Amino acid sequence: MLPSAQIRDAVMAQKPDVGALFDALRAGSRDGDGITRDTYGAGEQFAHKLISAQADAMGLETRRDHAANLFMTLAGKDRSTPRLMTGSHLDSVANGGNFDGAAGVVAGLVAIKTLQRLGRQPDCDITSVAIRAEESVWFQVSYIGSRAAFGVLPAGALEARRVDTGRTLGEHMAECGADIDAVQRGVASLDAKSIKSFVELHIEQAPQLVEAGIPVAIGTGVPGNFRYPQVKIIGEYAHVGLPRRFRRDAVLAASDLAVGLDDIWKKNEAAGRPMAFTIGRFHTNPKEHALTKVAGEMTLSLDVRAYDKAHLSELEGTVLNLAREIGQRRGVQFELGARTAADVAPSHPAVATKLDAAAKALGVATMPLASPASHDTATFTVAGVPSAMLFVRNANGSHNPREAMDIDDFLQGAAVLTGWLAAEAIS
């Protein structure tokens, strides 16, 4: 056991170093007001080098796997016993914020440094991982790095093209030192049985902790989703003078869908069943649309998420029924296109309970919080690793340059992470 006061003091003493590390991350990936650490590109590569150098300076073992994920390990007394893991991703969206992802990797290093400073060797290995390619905006594929680590990335994903360069995931990975052949064959660098538990610290992406006045939350789970990235609604182009009853208007059909989904969300929320839907793209065809034409085509993307498997599949049925009903009523055709999905990943109750106990011992105020977003933790959970998340209060959301996490809040989160590791591995 390590006294909580010692943990707290040793974590807080790292404030200047932590500030300097976040500043260095920002300086090397600055892009306008924000930062860009592009997935399997120059930005992510820079961050991996910086963090790897930090781990070297701390005397940790570093290892890169076939997908170029970076594992930084403090050796335990018994190296054959299942390890404790923490970490997050280092990539970002374009012109994003400095803390989404990176906070979890830095927190892992802070926790390990704390144990080093207190001169305590853990019973088992403790590994902080810098995961590749979590941000699905670049290749429109989710959890690339973590799924490749568990050997469950579909081989076809390597053909996905990056939205800006037009080059394949395979090409980008190879440039960053990955072994594409091994990724293709589904080689695994992580095995669920060799990981005792995994905890990912992440900034909150909504203002719920700001609203509650609480610095840290313990995640209750990562939502599952189903996605239709490219829905087409086909109606009929017509002259602006066409009377209403003859129209097959794709814009009105798409609008009915959006408003109908919002209605479904409102009803679910009122019934205490958390969910979310997002139409991120919503557009007519610029080659054909015009001021004086009824639009005969709409394209939109749809992401629907929920925290319960049965609820999610019920929602999918409701959404498809809605589309069918609108199609009949408006005389349009819904072409749903490709579908992708991710499993619901509830936090492991025992891990969440231990995080709660660590926070209480340290005097850090926490609350339970359902994650609004997707995280690599879901891959660990689905693989069978007992996992949970910590969220740190953050104003202005994430995926934008105005994301604002107070370093003191971050250190409170890192202290909870350290307290959990110490309770698990310091005898």
Closest distance between Zn ion and the C-beta of residue 255, in Å? 31
Which residue's CB is nearer to Zn ion, number 65 or number 100?
Answer: 100
Contact between 376 and Zn ion by CB under 5 A: the answer reads no
> In terms of DSSP bridges, do strands 238-239 and 61-64 run parallel, antiparallel, or are they unpaired?
unpaired
Which residue's CB is nearer to Zn ion, number 256 or number 376?
Answer: 376
Which residue's CB is nearer to Zn ion, number 203 or number 294?
Answer: 203
**Residue 340 structure tokens:** 């992708």
C-alpha–C-alpha distance, residues 354 and 340, integer Å: 34
Closest distance between Zn ion and the C-beta of residue 405, in Å? 12
Q: Which of residues 31-50 bind Zn ion (CB under 5 A)?
A: none
User: Which three-class secondary structure string do you get for 18-67?
Assistant: HHHHHHHHHHHCEECCEECCCCCCHHHHHHHHHHHHHHHHCCCEEEECCC
Q: What percent helix, strand, coil does the chain show, rounded to 5?
A: 40, 25, 35
Q: Which of residues 98-157 bind Zn ion (CB under 5 A)?
A: 100-101
Which residue's CB is nearer to Zn ion, number 114 or number 377?
Answer: 377
Which residue's CB is nearer to Zn ion, number 101 or number 274?
Answer: 101
Where do the DSSP E strands lie in 343-398? Answer: 345-346, 366-370, 387-392
Contact between 397 and Zn ion by CB under 5 A: the answer reads no
Closest distance between Zn ion and the C-beta of residue 103, in Å? 9
Q: Which amino acid is at 150?
A: F
Closest distance between Zn ion and the C-beta of residue 366, in Å? 20
Closest distance between Zn ion and the C-beta of residue 339, in Å? 23
Closest distance between Zn ion and the C-beta of residue 375, in Å? 6
Instruction: Kindly determine how many residues on this chain lie close enough to bind Zn ion according to the rule CB under 5 A.
Output: 2
Closest distance between Zn ion and the C-beta of residue 411, in Å? 19
Which residue's CB is nearer to Zn ion, number 101 or number 346?
Answer: 101
Which residue's CB is nearer to Zn ion, number 101 or number 215?
Answer: 101
Alpha-carbon dihedral angle through residues 220, 143, 101, 58, given to the nearest 10 degrees:
110
Contact characters 76-105, Zn ion, x per CB under 5 A: ------------------------xx----
C-alpha–C-alpha distance, residues 354 and 307, integer Å: 22
C-alpha–C-alpha distance, residues 331 and 392, integer Å: 48
Contact between 297 and Zn ion by CB under 5 A: the answer reads no
Whole-number Cα distances in Å, 111 to 303, 334, 372: 35, 51, 25
The residues that touch Zn ion, with contacts defined as CB under 5 A, are 100-101
